[in-house]
Structure 1
Amino acid sequence: MVLENRHLSLREVAHDLSVSHESIRNILHHQLGMRRLAARLVPRELNFLQKNLRKKVAEEMLEQVNSDPSFIQRIITGDETCVYEFDMQTSQQAAEWRYPHEPKPKKPRQSQSKAKVMLLVFFDYRVVYSEFVPNGSSNVMGFMKEIDTILSKLEEADEHVSDEMAVSKKMDSWEKDQARLLKIVEEMNSGSSNSESESDADSAENNNSDSEDDESTTDEEYEAPEEPENDETWHTNTTSIRNFSFDADAAGILLDIEENVSPIQVFEKIWDDQVMEMIIKSTNDYGIKLCNQARPHTRHSRKANFKNTDMIEMRKFLGLCLLQSQLKFSSIRKLFSIDALHYHPAFPSQMSGRRFEQILRCFCVEEENSNDPLRKIKIFLDLLIQKFANAYAPNEALSLDESLLLFRGRLYFHTYMKGKKAKYGIKFYELCSAQGYVLNIEVYKGHRENDENMTTIESLVMRLMQSYLNKGHHLFMDNYYNSLPLSNKLLSKKTHVTGTLRVNRKGLPQEITRRKLRKGEHVWRRQNQTYVSKWKDKRDVLCLTTAYHPSMINTANRRQQEKRKPIEIVNYNQNMLGVDRADQMMSYYSCPRKTIRWYKKVIFHLLDVAVWNSFYIFKEKTGSQMKYIEYREAIIRSLTGIDNKRDGRTLVQFKRAQIQTNEINNGTQHFPEKISPPENYQRKTYFQRCKQCYKQGIRRETSYCCKNCMSKPALCPAPCFETWHTENNV
């Protein structure tokens, strides 16, 4: 009850709960350790422009006093202030119940009225003259320009205003300083008027009158004012957009391929022999390492003996992995089953189920020698990213977003993302082209040290964009990444930024973030080269851009219905779909299967990315209408060697005939011999299942095999040895 409304008094709580006042006090103070703390009013600090202005005025005043000691006696100071009507909470009203570890309330609440009045005050050691600006207007410049009127009022109000003050009007120097000060007042108070349209109109009118009155101030200074790069002021006028001259001729496919190229040729340009050799070497090394472990293996363990794999077998393995992503099976063993419900001839025709599981168990890539959490995939990931960059140069528009790979195992840098379908898993930060080609990937690995003068998000974006800076690209990001400092850093690297923005980012204009809009209303402000705009459709949308002047344009939706939207929102919607498009296409046929080893899922995910990128290049180069599923099937056929004209019913028969042909040994006699045990096997006799008994559905083990057959099948001495050779015509 107290946590829902911390302003409740002891009397109110006691009345609502029908408990004595002292009991409530004892519970809150002694048992819960809470106390009532009143908020304190914290004064606001001056900004950079205000500090410099006060410093400059003080220096000019000191110089004037040193040159003319009587100057201080002739000074009358004028200033303006806003008088608000508001009610501030008392200490009793602002007091809240707080635990000892909770901070004090920052400031008491106050209810401010919508109306405010501008007060002009002139004073020396007392108030000489004061006047309220008429209600509904906060334009001080109209009053500041009437120098003669104000001076006459001051002369009437104070006897100390002598002829010296009238003579000191010296309009030449005074009007120049006045024009400069009026310009600063206009920029600082441009957003404080009650009506946006009235304020803009007044500012434009005052600018025109200034240019007419002051011959030393030209129109060009007002149209394109020179501003320092670190100017923190928000303006209502536009400035020219920087043109970084993106080289469109250098964008496109960088591979040396012809227009009639086949799918497997494009795929092998990215997933080339260098990638395959790294996988083969790492898989063989890890398989031998498992076999040489000191702990004893079970009799039929796949770790007891490992045969090194080669390029042909690894291509078949990857082809079967791509094929299984298009099929639904409850387990891997079902893929190789001869059961009529699960039988699929493509898998047993390539390799046995035990061999597939053995390669899958040892499947890995080269490991980096460091303490990096990603050391199991770091070298492989960097190699593939380099292949992606060398294969395709993107157009001007780039998109950056995060992707999530489902993983619910034990991993300290796995993350939770509420908006994703998988919810839990390994997070990837991906940089893509506007059409979905994946250019760069970074895996989230938990907290990391920030670079100097940059936040974590800023460092992440600069790392992903490192190869594409200073080239004139246009980066689209969502509100997770966008901020004012990041846009300035990218702009200094010749890169434009457009995207949505979170309302709690530091440095945003309060007149934009706090303003309530009607549906379809659009407002904006500018700081240096960065524009922050706010538009309301169904809800408020805050946007940041350095590439467009904020304006409303006509656009059509999917149903060809025209609607007015800001230009920055329209271009953001058109170019921000790169990462989502890549994720959508890869999600249809995903290689990663359930496993407790996270790096295997990442490797298979990178295989999917390589297939998708090669498909993107294939479509752009050939202009083919081939579908993504057809492209994958073409790669699977090339990797496994399965002819697209072969009938599935004859596939296994062809495999058996090939084995039988290899077993024929030109009439050589066949003799049984003892099966030689594998290395590190502690017993003298080694047993295997009899091939002939297995065909008859009998589970029987034997220690003998055929001496002359190439596959050395395990066979019982009698009668299986003779029966097996007779049936296979060996």
Structure 2
Amino acid sequence: MAHEEALQMMTESEEESTFPSEEEEDFDDELLYFEERCDAAENPISKEKMPASAHHTRATHKRLSAFNSVENLNICERDSDQMSAAKRARTLSWKAETDVDQVPQTLRFLPAREPGPQLSAADSHSPMSLFKLFFTESAVENLCHNTNAQAARAMAKGHKYKWTDVGVDELYRYIGLIFYMSVLKMSSITDYWRQDSPFSLPFPATVMSRDRYRTISWNVHMSHPDADEENDRKRGTDQHDRLFRIKPLMDIIRLACKAFYHPRRNLAVKERLVACRAKTGMRRCTKVKPTKLGFKFFDLSDSSNGYIVDFSIYTGKNSFPADHGLSYDAVMSLLDRKVLGSGYHVFMDDFYTSPKLFTDLFALKFGACGTYREQRKGFPKTAANSLSRSSSRGSIRWIRDGPLVCVKWMDTQVVSVCSTIHAAYTGDRVKRNIKAQHTKSVPCPAPVTAYSQHMGGVDLSNQLLQYYAAQHKTMKWYRKVFLHFLDIAANNAFILHKELHDNMTRKEFMEELIAELCGVSQKAAPKQSSTEHVPIPGAELTSDVRRNATVGRRICVHCKAVHGKRSQTPWKCQACDVYLCLQLKRNCFLEWHTSL
């Protein structure tokens, strides 16, 4: 099939890209920043050792930053003792918007495939068919196998509940109920099966019973329990895989994300926290928001529509194969030139931005733009001609070092952005409120304008995931991640549908997906209220009591259809207008309406 061929092509191209093997410089601020958000004990930082004769080599000279005043003064002294102090000061001073900046080298955009959905727009794609690109039947079949094995193990340990093996169709209905609960929010799972209440929801009980839903939830498993035990015995060694319980499904979804959609030029990298308070043994975000424990996902998304192209999960040290620091390695792990192509523009926030990352990306033909923290090593430290608190709104200062330009812009406060894509200032202006009902047009650097525009793709992705998030409380950490995988699959399936057909809102898409997963039709006429289905006499009553039981009797439609009998009855249903028996020993009225 075409889908399987696309996945096979992506599998063959999933090879590790080779990146420069130089050591990362010591980023003190990165460690401080990450200590506030994750445990810094798992984020070792290595210092770059510079040999005494390194300044004689061309490669080392490229690594030296023109932003470090001490290093630059040393270089200037070695290159020319005749250079005046005034000239060195001009080299290091910030330039204003009136100074002309050289436009950096334009990277040619050469994507590996035609950007957009890798599906035929001429074909009709239902929400469920697109969702099954990520949760394939083979993947769900494997999920069923592991879930049944986990249930058997639980019952062998003494858990007492009724269990029958779950099949593919039933697991899709189970997923449909999870999405149903994401659209209609209730305070607890049991409320969806509550009866005899003004707030009762009749639909979930028609898909599966409450106890069946709960037992599947307790046992849903993405890896085989026997393999889990073998992996657990390796805990504390390099062979132990902290993501082993989620890896089978995670690999399938990551592969599908890249196989069925190729991103457009502008990409965004950002982290996402999946809240979870279960004990996992993995490093998680704990310092800033103690009530918001969870897993850190690093996402690469298409800035134009929020499609999640790839993602990775932080598990502590050794999360990534390289050793250049978490922020550097997280970005590099998501950018595979063999899969994407070259000439892409990557936008990121200040957690990831560093001179080494940007220059290495530029060497790989990836442009980059992002906010940065001034205390990070390698960024401008000079105060000559820099912005001050008294600088007027819209003031711009910039310094260029080869392809990398660092820009400061005074808005309500100083905004620091660097880029290997843009010139410092190209004449852009933005409107700002100065006083009540008064606006002013002020200059705005090109990197700031582009950053504001394209990092919105990350916010769009967050919004799409949060509108109908499948997350709810659970005791198992891997089930939290399983629910997030459902969110990613539904989000990407909706974006594919929008790109191909653009005829549904997100709510309409989710409603149709839920109906297809649960095996019901959205277009079916709603059942009439039970208050209309009441028995009434089939003929008008007369004053002769003896004739009321015989006049107007008709054959019971239920007796004739089910039992083949021609029993006659004076009763009929007011709403259905069919004759039905209503006796102490034979209640065809109830049986008929139950079977509807």
Moved more, 475-484 or 251-260: 251-260
Partner SS for 1:313: helix
- Pick the aligned partner of 2:467 from 588, 593, 600: 588
Shift of 1:575: 0.5
1:196-235 paired onto structure 2 within 5 Å: none
**Contact 1:403–1:427 (Cα < 8 Å) also in 2:** yes
In the alignment, what sits opposite 1:427? 296
- Structure 1 residues 526 and 642 mapped into 2: Cα distance closer, same or farther (>3 Å)? same
Shift of 1:557: 6.1
Shift of 1:341: 3.2
Q: CA RMSD in A?
A: 3.7
In the alignment, what sits opposite 1:271? 135
Please list the CA deviations of residues 650-669 of structure 1 after superposition, one character each: whole Å capped at 9, or x if unmatched. Answer: 6999xxxxxxx9xx9989xx
Shift of 1:503: 0.6
- Work out the CA distance in 1 between the residues paired with 2:268 and 2:298: 11
1:447 aligns with 2:326: no
- Work out the CA distance in 2 between the residues paired with 1:479 and 1:263: 37
**Contact 1:417–1:424 (Cα < 8 Å) also in 2:** no
1:336-375 paired onto structure 2 within 5 Å: 336-366=193-223, 370=231, 371-375=240-244
In the alignment, what sits opposite 1:495? 366
Please list the CA deviations of residues 510-543 of structure 1 after superposition, one character each: whole Å capped at 9, or x if unmatched. Answer: 2369923412111111112111111111111111
In the alignment, what sits opposite 2:171? 314
Shift of 1:592: 1.6
Shift of 1:257: 5.2
1:224-623 paired onto structure 2 within 5 Å: 238=102, 240-247=104-111, 250-256=114-120, 258=122, 260-293=124-157, 295=158, 297=159, 301-302=160-161, 305-366=162-223, 370=231, 371-412=240-281, 413-416=283-286, 418=288, 423-434=292-303, 435-448=305-318, 451=321, 454-467=324-337, 470-511=341-382, 515-517=386-388, 518=391, 519-555=393-429, 562-623=441-502
In the alignment, what sits opposite 2:578? none
In the alignment, what sits opposite 1:645? 523
Shift of 1:417: 7.2
Please list the CA deviations of residues 334-393 of structure 1 after superposition, one character each: whole Å capped at 9, or x if unmatched. Answer: 211222234211111111111111111111212566422211112211110100100100
Could you tell me which amino acid in structure 1 is paired with residue 207 of structure 2? Q
1:47 aligns with 2:71: yes
Give the % identical residues.
24
In the alignment, what sits opposite 1:633? 511
**Contact 1:246–1:396 (Cα < 8 Å) also in 2:** no
Please list the CA deviations of residues 262-303 of structure 1 after superposition, one character each: whole Å capped at 9, or x if unmatched. Answer: 22222222322122112211111111121222x4x4xxx32x
In the alignment, what sits opposite 1:71? none
- Work out the CA distance in 2 between the residues paired with 1:286 and 1:247: 43
- Work out the CA distance in 2 between the residues paired with 1:79 and 1:242: 33
Please list the CA deviations of residues 655-689 of structure 1 after superposition, one character each: whole Å capped at 9, or x if unmatched. Answer: xxxxxx9xx9989xxxxxxxxxxxxxxxxxxxxxx
Shift of 1:419: 8.3
1:148-187 paired onto structure 2 within 5 Å: 186=87
- Work out the CA distance in 1 between the residues paired with 2:111 and 2:483: 35
- Structure 1 residues 513 and 362 mapped into 2: Cα distance closer, same or farther (>3 Å)? farther
Moved more, 440-449 or 316-325: 440-449
Could you tell me which amino acid in structure 1 is paired with residue 90 of structure 2? S
**Contact 2:173–2:517 (Cα < 8 Å) also in 1:** yes
Could you tell me which amino acid in structure 2 is paired with residue 266 of structure 1? L
Shift of 1:609: 1.1
**Contact 1:349–1:651 (Cα < 8 Å) also in 2:** no
- Structure 1 residues 478 and 651 mapped into 2: Cα distance closer, same or farther (>3 Å)? farther
Structure 2: gaps (5+ residues): 1-67, 232-239, 434-438, 532-557, 565-584
Could you tell me which amino acid in structure 2 is paired with residue 424 of structure 1? L
- Work out the CA distance in 1 between the residues paired with 2:323 and 2:222: 36
- Structure 1 residues 543 and 513 mapped into 2: Cα distance closer, same or farther (>3 Å)? farther
- Structure 1 residues 451 and 47 mapped into 2: Cα distance closer, same or farther (>3 Å)? farther
Could you tell me which amino acid in structure 2 is paired with residue 189 of structure 1? A
Could you tell me which amino acid in structure 2 is paired with residue 448 of structure 1? N
Could you tell me which amino acid in structure 2 is paired with residue 322 of structure 1? F
- Work out the CA distance in 1 between the residues paired with 2:245 and 2:343: 35
- Work out the CA distance in 1 between the residues paired with 2:426 and 2:103: 17
- Structure 1 residues 650 and 287 mapped into 2: Cα distance closer, same or farther (>3 Å)? farther
- Work out the CA distance in 2 between the residues paired with 1:395 and 1:264: 25
Please list the CA deviations of residues 228-255 of structure 1 after superposition, one character each: whole Å capped at 9, or x if unmatched. Answer: xxxxxxxx85254232333497111112
In the alignment, what sits opposite 1:156? none
**Contact 2:372–2:416 (Cα < 8 Å) also in 1:** yes
- Work out the CA distance in 2 between the residues paired with 1:472 and 1:343: 55
**Contact 2:96–2:396 (Cα < 8 Å) also in 1:** no
- Structure 1 residues 419 and 563 mapped into 2: Cα distance closer, same or farther (>3 Å)? farther
Could you tell me which amino acid in structure 2 is paired with residue 543 of structure 1? V
In the alignment, what sits opposite 2:572? none
Could you tell me which amino acid in structure 1 is paired with residue 488 of structure 2? V
- Structure 1 residues 612 and 80 mapped into 2: Cα distance closer, same or farther (>3 Å)? closer
**Contact 1:403–1:579 (Cα < 8 Å) also in 2:** no
**Contact 1:555–1:564 (Cα < 8 Å) also in 2:** yes
- Work out the CA distance in 2 between the residues paired with 1:237 and 1:613: 40
**Contact 2:276–2:292 (Cα < 8 Å) also in 1:** no
Partner SS for 1:523: strand
Please list the CA deviations of residues 456-488 of structure 1 after superposition, one character each: whole Å capped at 9, or x if unmatched. Answer: 221111111125565211100110000000011
Partner SS for 2:360: helix
- Structure 1 residues 572 and 533 mapped into 2: Cα distance closer, same or farther (>3 Å)? same
- Work out the CA distance in 2 between the residues paired with 1:80 and 1:563: 37
- Pick the aligned partner of 2:90 from 187, 190, 208: 190
- Structure 1 residues 265 and 258 mapped into 2: Cα distance closer, same or farther (>3 Å)? farther
- Work out the CA distance in 1 between the residues paired with 2:117 and 2:220: 32
**Contact 1:397–1:476 (Cα < 8 Å) also in 2:** yes
- Structure 1 residues 651 and 306 mapped into 2: Cα distance closer, same or farther (>3 Å)? farther
- Work out the CA distance in 2 between the residues paired with 1:324 and 1:372: 32
Please list the CA deviations of residues 688-728 of structure 1 after superposition, one character each: whole Å capped at 9, or x if unmatched. Answer: xxxxxxxxxxxxxxxxxxxxxxxxxxxxxxxxxx9999986
Could you tell me which amino acid in structure 2 is paired with residue 486 of structure 1? L
- Work out the CA distance in 2 between the residues paired with 1:652 and 1:285: 42
Could you tell me the TM-score, scaled by structure 1's length?
Answer: 0.56
**Contact 2:148–2:165 (Cα < 8 Å) also in 1:** yes
